[in-house]
Amino acid sequence: MTNPRAYLMHLPKLQLKHGQQCVILFILIQMEKHTSFATADFKDQPQSAAGNAFIRAFIAVSIGAETLARIEKVQMELQKPDVKAKWVSPETMHLTLLFLGDIPAPLAATAADALDSVAADFAPFSFAVAGLRLIGGRRSPRMIWAEVWQEAEILLIQARLAAKFDALGFSLEKRPFKPHLTLARIKQVDDPGGLEKIIAQHLKTEFGKVRVDRLLLIKSTLLPDGPLHDIIHAARLGGRGENT
């Protein structure tokens, strides 16, 4: 990418008003910040054998088989002909703590070390998965969630992870974190009231307890039939990590 400063010399030739020049100058400064960010964070990273390969990565907690079986049963109840949605396979269901997005493959080692550092400060704990929630409401349904209860420790760990990875220069989502499991991404609902009624019957349904003793760094490969998840690294709470 061309250095944004190179464009500054052309501003006087454009015959723009002062206000317009200020706007363009502001945009160029922002471009320079992003360029500096990319250079500072990634210029010293070693190249992978495949060159500048990127991987789609996130940090998550795995969910037990019994809990997933109960969720799948409710999923089947929700899958009515009038509900057009992309249903998340229980095999790929997890509690996402931090989405890292597409990162240079060599940074996976940096991410694993950071994950170990955070995990070492926390002891194993449990939380509950219970209750359904319709995101977007009846008027504009977008997703169906299973909610997380007893979430205090999850929130603490996620905040520590976000601070750690932000300090390392990873580009993170800015929206507030709300722990949940995604059951479906809705495309269209012909009878929103009917869907809302089923969900209302499961507002307090308990799907199970989840025991957390590891935080997982996961590589996600997007395929036509759904994502393929591979665990890159497992960081044990209160202990050292494990490469997989």
Give the residue numbers annotated as catalytic, written as ranges: 94, 180
What phi-psi label fits residue 240: left (phi over 0), alpha (psi between -120 and 50 degrees) or beta? beta
Q: Would you say residue 240 has pLDDT above 90?
A: no
Q: 232: helix, coil or strand?
A: strand
Per the DSSP assignment, residues forming a β-bridge with 143 are: 135, 185
Q: Which residues make beta-bridge pairs with 48? A: 51
pLDDT confidence bin for 19, thresholds 50/70/90: very low
174 pLDDT above the threshold of 70 = yes
User: Is the pLDDT assigned to residue 63 strictly greater than 70?
Assistant: yes
Given this model, what pLDDT does residue 43 score? 35
Task: Say what angle helices 65-78 and 192-200 make with each other, to 10 degrees.
Answer: 150
Backbone angles phi, psi at 153, to 5 degrees: -70, -35
Tell me the C-alpha distance between 107 and 55, whole Å.
9
Q: Please tell me which residue, 41 or 235, carries the higher pLDDT value.
A: 235
Q: Which pLDDT score, from 0 to 100, does residue 10 have?
A: 42
Whole-angstrom Cα distance, residue 177 to residue 141?
20
What's the whole-model pTM score? Answer: 0.76
pLDDT at 216: 98
Place of tokens 């520590």: 160
Q: What is the mean pLDDT of the chain?
A: 83
pLDDT at 114 (0 to 100):
98
Q: Which tens digits make up the pLDDT trace of 65-103? A: 999 999 999 999 999 999 999 999 999 999 999 999 999
The predicted structure's pLDDT at residue 4: 43
Query: Tens digit of pLDDT for each residue in 43-54?
Result: 344 343 344 599
Can you give the pLDDT at residue 243?
A: 63
For 145, phi then psi, to 5°, come to -115, 150
Q: What confidence score (pLDDT) does residue 65 get?
A: 97
